[in-house]
A = this chain, B = another copy of it.
Amino acid sequence: MTESYDQIHAVLQGYIDENHEFLSWLGATVESVDDGRMTMAIPYDEKLTNTRPSNGDRRPDIHGGVAATLIDTVGGIVFHTDFDDPIDAGAATINLNVNYLRPATGDLEATARIIRAGSSVGVSEIMVESTTPDGETREVATGQGSYRLFRSARD
C-alpha cells in the first residue's frame, strides 16, 4: 500500500468529481475508505425515481438500476485499497449479481467488502441501505461482484 486510506479517499472523490460524467451526475460520493472496505452514497433525487411524484401519495422509489450502478461501482473501486499502484491499477466488472430486498425511498449508501483479491480476479460483496416506505433505514439490496483486476499498466 503506497498511499493512506485518506489519500485514496481524496483521490477517488476528486476523480469522480473531475473526470466521471455518470457518477458526478448521480452525485456519487465516497463516504469512507478502510482496509478492504469502502462506502459510497448516491443522494435521493426525483430524477432517479420510478414514477413522477404526482402519481402517488408515497414518495416515489428509486429505480433499481441506480442501486445496481452503485453496487457495480463501489464493488470495483474497493479494490483500490488492495492495489500497490493506485494510479495505473483498475478493475473491470466481470459479473454483477444483485438481490433486491425492499423499495428504496431515500439516499442510497452502499458498503463494499473485499472477499478475495487474487492476482487477476477479485470478488467483493456489497450491501445497500436506504430509507424504506415504512420510514426505517434498512437493507434495500445486496450484491456480489467479480472483477478483472489490472494491478499495473502491464496487466
Contacts and interface: CB of A to CB of B under 8 A. Distances in A.
Interface in A88-146: 92-102, 115-116, 120-121, 123, 125, 139, 142-144, 146
A25 B50 contact: no
Contact of A99 (B21, B66, B101, B123): B123
Interface in A58-73: 60, 62-66, 68-70, 72-73
A95 B121 CA distance: 11
Dominant SS among interface residues on chain A: mixed
5 contacts: A63-B72, A65-B69, A95-B146, A99-B116, A101-B116
Interface in A4-55: 18-23, 25, 46-52, 55
